[in-house]
Chain A
């Protein structure tokens, strides 16, 4: 006799659990999403029903990870929709400026309460030597991402770059949209809202691209990120002084790869899932380790955030300070990157990480002219050899900055560096490969995959798009099978989730 269905167990699985957020690479999401997609295709002819389905599924998706704090989404939608309309219909002048400031204060205020209250208490305690107890504040997942997404709408209307939407329903779809609510991309309203007005039919090429992104996303997350972190990086970084410099250096490289696979893998899934629904989200990564300078890196890493910061923070600051000429760039870079650091998380290491990137960028612009002069004199300007050297240097600067990202205590970073510079023991490399063949293979494959030529990638997408439906399902099944072999019992939330 079959066992009776235990409704309580199903409810336990589906209800809010702060320790068990609904991640794209979990079987629960897979089953829910398949159900959603079937319903979505049935109702897709009826716009209202389709949007209602997206809104309800998105609210549930967020509730599963944030509980009653999912109400913040509704508050954000009401506040930003109302202020958008108010700013638009108020003539240029003081009142319009005040509405704009108020809207920004509300958005930043909500974000600051959840994310920075305890950091501010920590600073007060450090300055006043007081003992104020930190508050028990639950940080709702993705709040930094959707707050910035909503603010782009307000800023674009204030800057007269776009008109507000008249449809509150469409605005809710924009704010609640589940594929990008947890980890971005931080979509622009001006890119997304017009898509809701169109009746776009997805093409074979879209399906090919979506499947490619979902496959690479799953492989990056489970195969490289989770596995490398659990089986190698964490072990070395927990006790760096117990390992040789060689192992610490490989762990540092692997951590850069892990962070990239972790975050870009989740972005790939978000973009792929949205594409299956017929919506095109902006690209978020473009082979960042191919960057030949730090400025180039920021054009390739977390593109939706770096463009947001460029348009809404760096440019206004730069124009404000423009009388200072070159110094305006440097001041604006430092402020922008320190805020970029704090955006990631509340902690001194994130402030230092941001300031370090401000420093890197400033040195970059100060040395730009003399460097170009020297390269031209030496006849190596724009050569493949120079680009290779620039890539190696840029990668090491980035890898070093990621150590600050990883460790909250400077002693740990010091320990990693001391081991690398004083106890290297490069001769153990054969032992390393023999003892950790899977780790070695994953690191090499990860970096090779990263440097995969774009043409070949496009070819694969095209082949995947032209496959018969059975082939597509089979391919996805193979990827899921590989991922299942590697993944831990409980998929690890991406590192960026804490941001």
Chain B
């Protein structure tokens, strides 16, 4: 039995089935990501001074990933247009590029961006001990300039056992530039170009710390929202790549031989999903990386 309206429009809606289905699905996705973005914005607006980090993410890498996703949107449309013109070889070529772009995006995210965070350490200093760590925080200097105070000392944790061992009483941190030279005017504003590590080591007593972890979701509200939204987005990218691979395999070729318009419609629906996923990233990038 054939499923009706896979290639022709339903008389009452004027659309074929999958087109309605994907837009209903995308409407629910808009609500999902819309809720998460709203949560991010309100959490950020309500964050106490010194608790919301700036410039922690790698902007050049984020920019590259943005360019890759925009390029993949172009190639998926070209793949669909090739199918509409019944140029199957060209469709395979463009779809192959789309798949590669999606895989590169995920690779950069999973093997570079996220692990880089998991090896970075941050300790929030208790309110009554801020003065003790003034050489690393530079809050007097910031106050004079009317800038937001610092509460966190970040860098590479030398003694990782300090995270779990109760007998280790201090963290040994190889400081980031911002804490190594906190009164340097160059540290007044966040750096969006990654700075080299410094050789300066700080010893931070555990009793002076409000909380201290690697840059994992439990580290701060920022990283909780960052990993939630980019993780969910990454799962969507993975879903899109799997669908494209399915269409790129012989399954797609067989469907093309039987009914090329049906494959074109399937690719169009998958392409709509892919565009939505890319559009989400267009909002993620400035919100998390730049602002």
Whether A associates with B in a native complex is no
